[in-house]
Chain A
Amino acid sequence: MIAVLRLTRDARFRWAVAALFIAFAAAIPPLAGLNELANPDASAKFEIFLGTEALVLALWAVSYNLMLGYSGMVSFAHAAYYGIGAYTVALLFQKLHLPVLEGLLVAPLVTAVFGLVTGMIALRAVRLYFSLLTLAISQVLFSLAFNDAGGVTGGDNGVHGLAVPDALNDYTTMYYFVGAVVALSLAVMFILTRSPFGAALAAIRENRERARSIGINVRAYELAVFTIASTFAGVAGGLFAVFQQEAYPEMLYWTQNAQPVVIALLGGIGSFLGPAIGAFVYTELSNLLSTKFSNQFDVLLGAIVLAVVLVAPGGLASLPRLFTTLRARLRDQAADEVVESSGESIERADLARVVRIEAIHADPIAERGEPLLVVEGLSRSFGGLRAVQDVNLVVHAGDRHAVIGPNGAGKSTLFNLITGRLRPDAGRVTFAGRDITGRPPHVIARAGIGRAFQITMIFPKLTVRQNLQYAMLAHRGLTVRPFGLADRMFRDEAMELLEAVGLGRYPELAAGQLSHGDQRAIELAISLALGSRLVLLDEPTAGMSAFETQKAMDLVRRVAQEKRLTLLFCEHDMEVVFGTARTVTVMHMGRVLTQGTPDDVRGNPDVQKVYLGELEEEAVV
C-alpha cells in the first residue's frame, strides 16, 4: 500500500492504463460475442481473429521496442527474425511433420541463433552503420527465402496449409492461447527492462562513452538485447504461423519493419506497454482502412510516423503530457513545468557526509605509497601530430597527482590512453600490477579506474539519482542481472551521495535539465560513485565559478583522503593545482618536462618559461 502511495501521478496513470488494457484484451472474445448478438452485421469470429492478430503484433512490436525505445537501436532486420520464426514452425511441420505447437517451442531457439550470429556482424558497426548493416542482413535473408535457397523454403509461394491442433480449432481458444504466450513473453521482457540489465541499456542509449567509462561492455549488451529481441520476434513469428497457418517470404522483406516501428511509435517508445496498446489501435485502423484503400494505407502509415516524429515523439503515451503542455500554452503559461537548477549545488556540499558514504570506498589494492599506476614509454600520434611522446609516469597509491601543461600539451590524450578510450601506438600502462595497455574502457573502469570527463558526460534523460545509481550498479558488475528492480538498488547510497554533494534537491529531475555547474557536480559524483581506487579528473572544475571550484576541490581532496582514493587530475587553474596536488607532472608538446612536489615545480625555471611564465604575463596584462 505504501509502495502504491509512493508512486508519482505519472506512474499511477501508467499502471491504471495498463490494467484497463489488460482487462480489455482479456474481454475481447465475450465483447465480440455481445457485439454479434446486438449487431447482426458483426462477426464475432472475425473480431476475435483480428484480436489474435493484434496480440501477435503486440509481441512483435514490444520486442522491437526493446531495441528502439530501450536501447536506441534502429534495426531493419527485425521482420526477418519474425519471418524466420514463422518459417521454422511451417517448415518443421511440412518437412518433419512436427506439430505446430512443438514447432513454436523451437522457433525462438532458431531466431535466437540467427539473431546472435547476424547481430555479431551488425554490431561491428555503431548507430547509422549498424542500421545499414541490419538492412543488408535482412535483404540477404529475404533473398534466401524468396529464391528458395537450398530448395526448402518454397520460394515465392512460401509454406501453406499447416494443421492446427484440435484443441485450438476454435477462435476463442486460439485467442486465449496466443494471449497467454504473449502475456508470458511480455512479462519476461517487462522484468528485463526494469532490471539492472535494463539500466545498462538505458545508460548505453543515453551516452555510450559514459556507459563504457562506468564499466559497461557496450557491445556485449547491445548484442544481448539484439538477440533477446530476435528471440521474442521468433515467438511472435511462430504464433503467426500457428494461427495463420502459413509463412511467406514477404514477411522478411525490410519494409515490413514499418509495422513494428509504426506500432511502437504510435503507442510510445518510452513506455513498455505503449507498443502493445498501439498494436490494437493499429490493427483496428488497418482493418478499417486497408480493405478499401490498400494504396492509401501506406500513405497513412507514413503520415502517422511522420506526425509522431515531428509532433509527438512520445507517441500515444505522451498524449496526456502533450495535452497539458498545449493547455498551458493556450493559457499563455510556461509550456513545461521547468524546475530551474541554480547551478550552485556544489556550494551546499556536505563534506562530513560524503566521507561517511560506504559506497565510495574501494577495496585497497595497493598499499599507500606503492606504485599504483605505472605508465612506461607511452606514445600516440594523430597523423603527423605526436600528441603524446614517450611519456613515463608513476602514480603512487594515496597520492594526489596533477598533470599540468599548456593547451595541446597532451594531457587529455594521456588520460584517454590510460582509460582505454584511445589505443597507444607504443608503451605500456600497468595498474595495480596488471597490464591494461590498450584494453577496452569498460575493462579498465572495472579494474578500478574511475573518470570525470573534461566535457560533461552524463546520462541526460535519466534522473540525477539514476545517473549515480546506474554507475554504482555498473561498476560492481551487477548490470548482468536480468531481474530485480534496478531503481531500488543503491537508491539510498545514491541519495546519500546526492545530498552530500549538494544535489539533494533534484534527485528526480532529468540530469540534462540541470544547469552547467550542477551537471559538472553530477559528473564529479559519478566518478566518485564508482568507488574506484584511482580517480582521473580531466579539468574537474571547468566552467565553475571561483567559489564552486574551491568547494568542489575541497570535496575531492577530503574524499580522496578519507576514502584512501588516489587522484590523477589535470587542471588549468594553478590555485587548484597547488592547493590540491602533492605531486605535479608538467607536460609540454606531448612530453614530460619535469615532475616533483608543487614547490619543486614552482621553482623550476623551465616550467616557468613554458608555462607559468605565460600565465604571469597574462595576469599582468
Chain B
Amino acid sequence: MTASQLLLTTMGGLTNAAYLFIVSAGLSLVFGALRVINMAHGSLYMIAAFIAAVAANALGAGLGFWGGLVLAIAVTGAIGALIEIVVLRRVYREEHLVQLLGTYALTLIIAGLVRLIFGPNLRNTPAPALFSGNFHLAGDSYSVYSMFMIVAAIAIAAGVYAMLYRTPLGRNIRAAVSDSELLSASGVNVARLFTTVFVIGAALAALGGVIVAPSQAVTATMDADVLVLAFAISVIGGLGSIVGSAVGSVIVGLVISFGLQNGSTNQFALAFVFIIMVAVLVIRPWGLFGTAEQ
C-alpha cells in the first residue's frame, strides 16, 4: 500500500466514522440514561435519510439539504417522543428481554411503513452546493462532502459534550445515568427528562441519517445495516460512553475502509468488525470505556 493509498483509505475510514459516531452517540446516550437498548434507533436514522433524499430532490441541492435537515429532525424527534411516551414508559421496569422485543417490534413497523411510503427503490441525494465537488491534496482527489461529514461529526461531538457537562440538562442526564431513582427523589421530573433524552437520541439518529444521505444510496435496509454497526461500536467502546462511541466509531470506520480496500478481504470487511467486537468483549465484556454492570 502506497502512502497516497494509505491516506485515501484513512480518509474513507474517518468519513465512515463520522456518520457512525453521530448515530451511535445517540444510541449510547439513550442507553446510558434510560438503560434501554433502542433497536429502533436505526429506523429513526432511515426515516431521516429518506426525508433528506426527498427534500433534496424536490427543493434542489441547496435549500433541500438544509430544509430536509430541519424537517428530518422535527419529524424524527416527534416520532421519538411518541415512542418514548407510548412504548418505552411501559417497559422500563420490565426485563431487558421485553425492552428488546418491544423496540424490535418498532423496527419491523417502521421498516414496513417506510417501504410503504417511499417505495422499495433506492434514492440518491445531491450534496448541498456549498460542499459539492472535490479538492486535491498530494496528488489525490477528495470529496469536499467527506470533509464536511468529518467536521460535522466533530462539531456534534463537541456539542454533545458541552450539553452533558455545561448545561443543567446535562447534569440531570449524568445524574440519571448513575441513579435515576435518587434523581427523582430530589425533585427532578424524570419522566420528562427521559423523554427529552430520547428525543435528543432520535435527533442524533436524524442528523446521522441526513448527513449520510448524500454519501451513499438511501435504501429500505439501511436501518438494519447501521444498527448492526452502531451496536458493534457501542459494544467495542462501551455502552453509555460518548468517548467510547467516538473511539469505537473510528475503529469500525477504519476497519471497514481498510477491509474493503483490499480485493481479497472485501467480502469479510464486516466480519472483521465483528471479530474485533468479539475480541473486545472477551477481554473487557463491558467495552473499552464502559463500566462493568452488576
Contact = CB atoms under 8 A, between A and B. Distances in A.
A and B physically associate = yes
Interface of A: 68, 72, 74, 121, 124-129, 131-133, 135-137, 139-140, 143-144, 147-149, 254-255, 258, 261, 265, 295-306, 309-310, 313
Interface residues of B, number: 42
A278 to B, nearest CB: 14
Contact of A74 (B97, B239, B286): B97
B96 A128 contact: yes
B84 to A, nearest CB: 14
B156 interface: no
A127 B111 contact: no
A144 B234 CA distance: 23
A136 B286 CA distance: 16
B231 interface: yes
B91 interface: yes
Given A143-B271, A310-B90, A128 B111 contact: no
Contact of A295 (B97, B112, B267, B271): B112
B116 interface: yes
11 contacts: A68-B97, A72-B97, A133-B235, A135-B228, A136-B232, A139-B270, A149-B267, A149-B268, A254-B228, A299-B108, A304-B105
Nearest to B294: A209
Contacts of B90: 310
Interface in B107-155: 107-113, 115-116
B271 A129 contact: no
A299 B109 contact: yes
Contact of B281 (A124, A296, A309): A124
Q: Which of B100, B101, B115, B285 has the most CB of A within 10 A?
A: B101
Contacts of B232: 136
Nearest to A300: B112
Contacts of B268: 143-144, 147, 149
B116 A140 contact: no
Contacts of A313: 98
Contact of A305 (B105, B111, B281, B286): B105
B267 A261 contact: no
Closest 7 CB pairs of A and B: A302-B108, A298-B112, A302-B109, A299-B112, A305-B105, A147-B267, A306-B105
A310 B278 CA distance: 33
B182 interface: no
Interface of B: 37, 87, 90-91, 95-98, 100-102, 104-113, 115-116, 224, 228, 231-232, 234-235, 239, 267-268, 270-271, 274-275, 277-278, 281-282, 285-286
A261 B270 contact: no
Q: Which of A121, A125, A309 has the most CB of B within 10 A?
A: A309
Contacts of A254: 224, 228
A148 B266 CA distance: 12
Given A129-B285, A136-B231, A258-B104, 5 more contacts: A137-B274, A301-B105, A302-B112, A303-B109, A306-B102
Contacts of B231: 132, 135-136
Contact of B101 (A128, A129, A149, A261): A261
A298 B43 CA distance: 13
A298 B115 CA distance: 10
A256 to B, nearest CB: 11
A313 B101 CA distance: 11
Q: Which of B102, B105, B109 has the most CB of A within 10 A?
A: B105
A117 to B, nearest CB: 12
A299 B235 CA distance: 29
A136 B105 contact: no
Contact of B228 (A74, A127, A139): A139
